[in-house]
Amino acid sequence: MGKFKKWFCDYVAGFYGRDSFVNANLKLKEKHTLRVHKEMLYLVNELGLSVNQGRIAEVTALFHDIGRFKQFVKYRTYNDCRSTNHCLLGLDVLRETKILTGLSAGEKQLIEKAVKYHGEKQLPKTLNGEPLLFAQLVRDADKLDVFYTVISYYRQFKKNPKKFNLELEFPDNRNYSAEVVDDILNGRRTSYSRLRTFNDMKLLQLGWVYDVNFVPTLKRIKKRRFMETIISFLPQTADVKKVGKKIFEYIEQKIKDEK
């Protein structure tokens, strides 16, 4: 595993330059990836996976966002709709660099499929067995850290918007879209194409709990109070209170059902 971690750090280091905006956003993704790797170790342990499954899961965590670095340097955005699909770009990087050489064909296929599908709104129904397992694992580990990252992002922005040096994809105002609220209240994940404001993004992130695959992930979300914190950055309207109630009830029921 040390080989893959060193390669990742060396690869990312090659993208830093003199542009402070680019550097700040690259650092965000580099730190994110290393934390996703730690979240993956937690899930592997909680789910009692085998040693080899754990090794594959770790590599998948390290490389799930490997396409993000080329993406941001070229397009200056992490928005796939305005640039390119970072998952497919990641596959290109893995194949061009041949970093997975030495693994078996089956192991490489599992890692590549997980990288390819980790950013999809929904996983293909054709996935099953281990390909499904690793895709679900990386999506859960990714979400755990994205919640942590965006909360830090929101705190920085609220503290000093003028000095905020990260990409802000949507206008910051008190508005939010009724369609996004409706999706969450009806147990649906929101489409990225529906987003119009910064608050819509926060609501979409609350709805990610509907796509969590493993109860240990939900337990960690609950323990770290991610949902409560994101809600605190939203306007405290009747709609938002309904959304909070729905989300909290969903998490509690899922945890209860496992017992």
The CA distance from 166 to 145, in Å, is 17
Q: Say how many domains are in the chain.
A: 2
For residue 239, what are the domain limits? 170-258
Q: Identify the pLDDT of residue 103.
A: 95
Shared domain for 137 and 174, answered yes or no, is no
Shared domain for 137 and 214, answered yes or no, is no
Mean of pLDDT values over 187-193: 87
Q: 67 pLDDT exceeds 90?
A: yes
Q: Which of 94, 122, 141 is the last residue before a domain boundary?
A: 141
Binning pLDDT at 50, 70 and 90, where does residue 121 land? confident
Q: Identify the pLDDT of residue 258.
A: 81
Shared domain for 127 and 190, answered yes or no, is no
Mean of pLDDT values over 172-193: 91
Mean of pLDDT values over 45-51: 97
Q: Which of 126, 141, 156 is the last residue before a domain boundary?
A: 141
The CA distance from 259 to 256, in Å, is 6
